[in-house]
Amino acid sequence: MKRNILTLAISALVFSAAQPASADTLIHAGRLIDGTQNEVRENVTIRIEENKITAIENGFSRASNEDDVIDMRNGTVMPGFIDMHTHLTSQSEPGSYMHRYTHNEADVAFRAAHFADLTLRAGFTTVRDLGDSFAASVALKRAINAGYVEGPRIYTAAKSLATTGGHADPSNGSRSGLMPTPGPMEGVVNGVDEARQGVRARYQEGADLIKITATGGVLSMAASGDNPQFMDDELEAIVGTAADYGMRVAVHAHGKDGMMRAIRAGVHSIEHGTYMDDEVFALMKEYGTYYVPTITAGRTVADRAEIEGYFPEQVRAKARAIGPLIQGTFGRAYAAGVNIAFGTDSGVFDHGENAREFAYMVEAGMPPLEAIRAATLIAATLLGADDIIGSIEVGKHADIVAVTGNPLDDINLLKDIHLVIKDGVVYVQP
């Protein structure tokens, strides 16, 4: 009986495996949003050889007998989406505050592989992972790159950096003696020397960038959701050390003071940004700092705060106060001309629902085409990867998604992806 079950499981894996695109794959696109311009091309053919886009041809090109043809003549083809704020190694659910005591490294890793698969099949071919446990996102990135599991291209920060008692201090909420006092290796730093050590520890374990929690946060077991939690010299040490290792710095921040300090220190993006005002907008534009809004997370925590017992009471109060504000902040930031890159904070809500963010961005005043560009070329630019991904151009990696219909008429179509190609491999097709 066990052998039969194993045989069935192996067969299921074989038949569900992604099929690699042949040397010539042609996509006949009724509409093409290529990510580079604020216009839509109609009736074009995208030609893929191995993992690269080799031609974009006017009209529906005739295929040879060896070519594979994907028919999206009734649809819209776009670059693969990029989510600049994810947490693939966790997901909020009832009882999830106990996971750090009940889930070991293997539990975290297997769940992360599942969440990565959901994310890819939702059309997100690249993600930035901004905080994990056990460096599991580093291992997941390597497994995906090696072809052992399926998921998006990952740029990871590994463990977030926090100060003692700060938003990402893993010992928050634990009784004395239950968890050893965390230090730089565990992502908790105090003072310039430890700040530098924390960056170097992330580099050592294989992170691609640095994430810091510059203010309090909503879901941590701590009193404040917005107080500043790093001093200027600590922030400058982190940014300077990260630059030495070629790493960019993303900053969780809700409160104004923490944001102002981080922006002046030279960080690359502000995540959430709930209490931004005109002074913050002006400073971000002066420094070229990007805003990654995570509206979906804000809406989700506000809704779940109304479910009795879902959050600890300390967290529930912060979720009610901060969660509903992020969408309004996004609308004002867009109107002020701040650089905006798409990001959701998936893991705070269910993985695979990342496309909800598009609708919230449009609802707050961003035109649909700009929302799509925020999740493609603009996000790739913030990553420093716009030379290889983020747009449908000759020579770039074949990261391509498509929907039936026109998302510029109905942005909610992006929640139902009919074609996903990552690096020339077809994962979802009509």
Encode pLDDT of 357-374 as tens digits: 999 999 999 999 999 999
Contact (Cβ atoms closer than 8 angstroms) between residue 106 and residue 400: no
DSSP 63: P
* Domain range summary for the chain, segments of one domain joined by +: 14-80+390-428, 81-383
| Alpha-carbon gap, residue 307 to 322, rounded angstroms | 16
What is the rounded average pLDDT for all residues in the chain?
Answer: 93
CATH of domain 14-80+390-428: 2.30.40.10
Give the model's pLDDT for residue 244. Answer: 98
Mean pLDDT of 318-325: 95
Determine whether domain 81-383 maps to CATH 3.20.20.140: yes
Q: What are the pLDDT digits (tens) for 268-291?
A: 999 999 999 999 999 999 999 999
Q: What are the pLDDT digits (tens) for 44-85?
A: 999 999 999 999 999 999 988 889 999 999 999 999 999 999
Give the model's pLDDT for residue 394. Answer: 98
Q: In the 3-class helix/strand/coil scheme, how is 213-260 assigned residue by residue?
A: ECECCCCCCCCCCCCECCCHHHHHHHHHHHHHCCCCEEEEECCHHHHH
Find all residues with CB under 8 Å of 294, minimum gap 6, and list them: 85, 271, 272, 326, 343, 344, 345, 348, 357
Residue 70 DSSP SS3: strand
Q: What is this structure's pTM?
A: 0.93
pLDDT-derived band of residue 23, with 50, 70 and 90 as boundaries? low
Residue 354 DSSP SS3: coil
pLDDT-derived band of residue 13, with 50, 70 and 90 as boundaries? very low
Kindly tell me the sign of the dihedral angle through the C-alpha atoms of 327, 126, 72, 47: positive
Residue 317 DSSP SS3: helix
Give the model's pLDDT for residue 4. Answer: 40
Higher-confidence position of 426 and 8: 426
Q: What are the pLDDT digits (tens) for 220-236?
A: 888 888 999 999 999 99
User: How many other CB atoms are found less than 10 A from the CB of residue 390?
Assistant: 28
